[in-house]
Chain A
Amino acid sequence: MTDLLYSEEEDALRAAVRDLLADHCDTADVLARAESGAPYDPELWKALADGMGLAGLLVPESSGGQGATHREVSVVLEELGRSVAPVPYLTSAVVATEALLASDAGDLLGELASGRRIGALAVALNVAPGAAYQLVRHENGALHGELTGIADAAVADVLLVPADDGGLYAVEADAVTVSPQVSLDLTRPVATVVLEGAAGRLLGDAEPAVRRGLRAGAGLLASEQLGLADWCLTETVRYLKDRKQFNRPVGGFQALKHRLAQLWLEVVNARAAARNAADALATGSTDADVAVALAQAYAASVAVHAAEEAVQLHAGIGMTWEHPVHLYLKRAKADSIAYGTAGRHREALAELVDLPAP
């Protein structure tokens, strides 16, 4: 039976990550960084990857990783979501790493596990597991083409590129042109990648690697969404206890209390869905496809709803650039598209649980 609780070790891991983020990931800094045009925080990445070894959780010890599971990764992602941390953890330590685990990656796996190098799967962020994606041309031993919507490509050292010959290629970032796109999500921006005769090292078949990477990404994104929603709820409750209008705390008005109670209920449910997906991925359950689709079909809208409620219930201050809640709204909305929309995952479920369309 699926274990839906957090173990003591997972609680300890959460506490350690939260402490680190409290010291290194103040929302004011995150915002200032986003405005500077260099949104990523290399110091934070170093502390997470090098200091705590978290980039290698999914990688076996024999390949230079920690040999942990998706359960621990999900706890890290909850905390990173809670801080809208501008680090390429989901893209490099989860999606690219999972794709490499399905390939003949050689030393690259260990390099990503150590965090010294950052990898990005060169598939647009909106692509759902099993859906079609854009390919580059493989001609005369070199790669040609233009890819768009690649998350965290701007900070990647190596790109994992699917080509029209069915292969997945490792391409060094300095062999291609990466141009940041003006992105809705300030803390996980997307970029275009142009390959003009770039050299690539064949890692193996693209299809299974991409599918595996995207499935893990979709399943564990639910934990990030849980973290985003949890921050929005907690912060809004705190604010409404403090904010006074009509000579009383605004949080005492029943219309608002009920909205927050409903939101709490959604967060409770999202936690169960996210834990279920993480556990199914960790144990390699035969139900993992259902668990992943279920988690994305549910948690995406919870994060968006929580962020939208946070903006509305903060009212005027919530509309300002200065207040951090917009960082959460932008991440939550982008996340609702990432690795397939809720609707895509419902369609997947229709097939998986035999509820066919007319």
Chain B
Amino acid sequence: MTHAAELRDRTQELLSAHPPATTDRLDFLKARFDAGLAWVHYPEGLGGLGAPRSLQAVVDAELEAAGAPDNDPRRIGIGLGMAAPTILGFGTEEQKRRFLRPLWVGEEVWCQLFSEPGAGSDLAALGTRAVRDGDSWVVNGQKVWTSSAHVARWAILIARTDPDVPKHRGITYFICDMTDPGVEVRPLRQITGEAEFNEVFLTDVRIPDSHRLGEIGDGWRVAQTTLMNERVSIGGMRIPREGGMIGPVSKTWRERPELRTHDLHQRLLTLWVEAEVARLAGERLRQQLVAGQPGPEGSGLKLAFARLNQEISGLEVELLGEEGLLYDDWTMRRPELVDFTGREAGYRYLRSKGNSIEGGTNEVLLNIVAERVLGLPAEPRTDKDVAWKDLAR
């Protein structure tokens, strides 16, 4: 079952058995999952058919043409992009059967409990403790920068289970029930005025050992799968020319000649060129992935887009002149999605400041490129052989 034609037939069978026009959205998504058409590269019985990942596009095109509902991937991005591949890679059969279907159809939203106030770039230094108590673990600590925590049913969590060994070795990976009474979610207001993220306080949260992912003490390795998939999912989409942040500022430039100055013109053209070239580099990476030749380029693209988003939105605020002195809305809200283009330039300017911090700071990513792509010597590591409990903090 790896040919495009077979997949097309199978998709048509799904569509005739469950016509989208007359089928409940959730029922359709469940039927799609059960037909192995959710993510065709997943194994049979878990929403897939063990087919090449590139064939998913065939299924998606058929379903889109038939007007079938999708699973609103942006709403459940953390589940799809991070939790699912980790559960698939390290979960027990029971865990895979319990969690993957409601995750994919969107019945259960996931969040990620990784970063802590004291563990940002140095994530492996995390201090949230998990202590074994019979068949369960008791977890105490504080997590931060958790998007979707206020709507999530489950979380992927890494916690320290052994403070007496070096930091990377004493971490274990868990699935945490966000409805546990010991979980407290507080909105974390950002410089944009809204709270896209949360702080999560964990007080005597009980996690059954059956919700552990991978071996005790192997959580860092398991987390690498999660983080690797986060970066892969960033580079997967085809974007049209002016599809990114350069779009709104170019539109304003065309529509409002009274705002134009020579200086802004030079800067706009330079940024337009850089944005278009970065878009092509992203497209080239996408073509490499489709052709089964993934390159290291993805690690660099996030750096490029972070800088461009910041510079372009900064130029846009300046271009607007008197209007650039204004801001659309400082109301504290808790949006489910980040929407860069649905709001004004000032919001884009402030929000894009996070682009060079979230998902790995620019500085850390430059180290990664230098060491893993160019093979330059690694940063000196003074914490390698020191027990976690003896680290400076």
A interface residue numbers (CB < 8 A to B): 2-5, 237, 240-241, 248-249, 251-252, 254, 256-258, 260-262, 264-265, 268-273, 275-276, 294, 297-298, 346-347, 349-350, 353-358
Contact = CB atoms under 8 A, between A and B. Distances in A.
A5 B367 contact: no
A3 B290 CA distance: 12
A251 B257 contact: no
14 contacts: A4-B283, A4-B287, A240-B376, A254-B367, A257-B367, A258-B367, A261-B300, A261-B367, A264-B374, A268-B300, A269-B278, A269-B281, A272-B280, A355-B272
A264 B268 CA distance: 24
Contacts of B378: 252
B377 A269 contact: no
A339 to B, nearest CB: 16
Contacts of B266: 346
Interface in B237-277: 250, 253-254, 257, 260-262, 265-266, 268-270, 272-274, 276-277
Interface residues on B, range: 35 or more
A270 B273 CA distance: 11
A336 to B, nearest CB: 14
A294 B262 CA distance: 20
A358 B375 contact: no
Nearest to B253: A355
Nearest to B280: A272
A349 B293 CA distance: 32
B383 interface: no
Interface string B365-377: 1110111011111
Contacts of B284: 4-5, 271-272, 275
B363 interface: yes
B280 A273 contact: yes
A249 B378 CA distance: 11
Point out which of B250, B261, B281, B293 has the most chain A C-beta atoms below 10 A from its C-beta: B281
B366 A358 contact: no
A75 B54 CA distance: 28
Nearest to B370: A257
Contacts of B365: 261
A293 to B, nearest CB: 9
B291 interface: yes
B179 interface: no
Given A257-B366, A261-B373, A275-B284, 12 more contacts: A2-B283, A4-B283, A252-B377, A256-B376, A264-B369, A265-B300, A268-B300, A269-B278, A276-B280, A346-B270, A353-B250, A358-B265
B288 interface: yes
Nearest to A353: B272
B121 to A, nearest CB: 13
A273 B273 CA distance: 10
A2 B279 CA distance: 13
B297 A268 contact: yes
Contacts of B135: none
Contact of B370 (A5, A260, A347, A355): A260
B303 interface: yes
Contacts of B273: 294, 297-298, 346, 349
